[in-house]
Chain A
């Protein structure tokens, strides 16, 4: 059972364009939704995260849009750059405490052409 569904699997965007990656979740108990960025040969690194009490969060060129009723959230990368080429993972978790765990989507390979 895949609790976090991510699409598309891969995405090719021209430099300066907008990259959009979508995720949908099933468990309404999830209350934390991070996006991780992974470059080849490296570990994932937190990019941006959102709680369900807000509908949007922006950090520089990266924006998360969150739709609680639809159980969907998306990552928008404005003015995409070749250096943004990486694999992006959405994730979700519930609660906190010592048994906190992240459930990841399957990842999106983003290629930004110069």
Chain B
């Protein structure tokens, strides 16, 4: 029983394409996040949603658009993909006010833009 799941695990695509990554959590958490991990392993937050409402929007190109249809799902859509978008994207979730805000991460989606 996976806590935070992402699909797909691998995504290879051409420059200029549009792609989506899906994330689901079955922990009953109210907050979800997207992180980007670059080739040097640096983890940086991109977005967070609390109860379907956008809370954190770091300096991310507007080609990236998160969508939260309900509090268990947070999808990431990327338009006009660029070479620099190649990275591993992690979804995470947490519960506000619980367990010091521990964030639980998904397995990641490795995006390669050719």
**Cβ of A114 < 8 Å from any Cβ of B?**
no
Q: Taking the nearest CB of chain B, how far is it from the CB of A112, in angstroms?
A: 18
CB neighbours (8 Å) of A109 from chain B are 41
Cross-chain contact B108 with A104 (CB below 8 angstroms): no
User: Which single member of A41, A42, A99, A104 contacts B55 (CB below 8 Å)?
Assistant: A99
Chain B residue at minimal CB-CB distance from A100: B101
Cross-chain contact B96 with A98 (CB below 8 angstroms): yes
CB neighbours (8 Å) of A106 from chain B are 40-42
**Cβ of B63 < 8 Å from any Cβ of A?**
no
Distance in angstroms between the alpha carbons of A104 and B103 in the assembled complex = 12
Cross-chain contact B41 with A42 (CB below 8 angstroms): no
**Cβ of B48 < 8 Å from any Cβ of A?**
yes
Q: Taking the nearest CB of chain A, how far is it from the CB of B87, in angstroms?
A: 14
**Cβ of B100 < 8 Å from any Cβ of A?**
yes
Report if A96-B105 is in contact (Cβ < 8 Å); known contacts: A44-B43, A101-B45: no
Cross-chain contact A43 with B41 (CB below 8 angstroms): no
Cross-chain contact B106 with A43 (CB below 8 angstroms): yes
Which residue, A49, A87, A98, has most C-beta atoms of chain B within 10 A?
Answer: A98
CB neighbours (8 Å) of B41 from chain A are 38, 87, 106-107, 109
Residues on B lying within 8 angstroms of A by beta carbon are 4, 30-31, 33, 40-45, 48, 50-51, 53, 55-56, 90, 92, 94, 96-97, 100-108
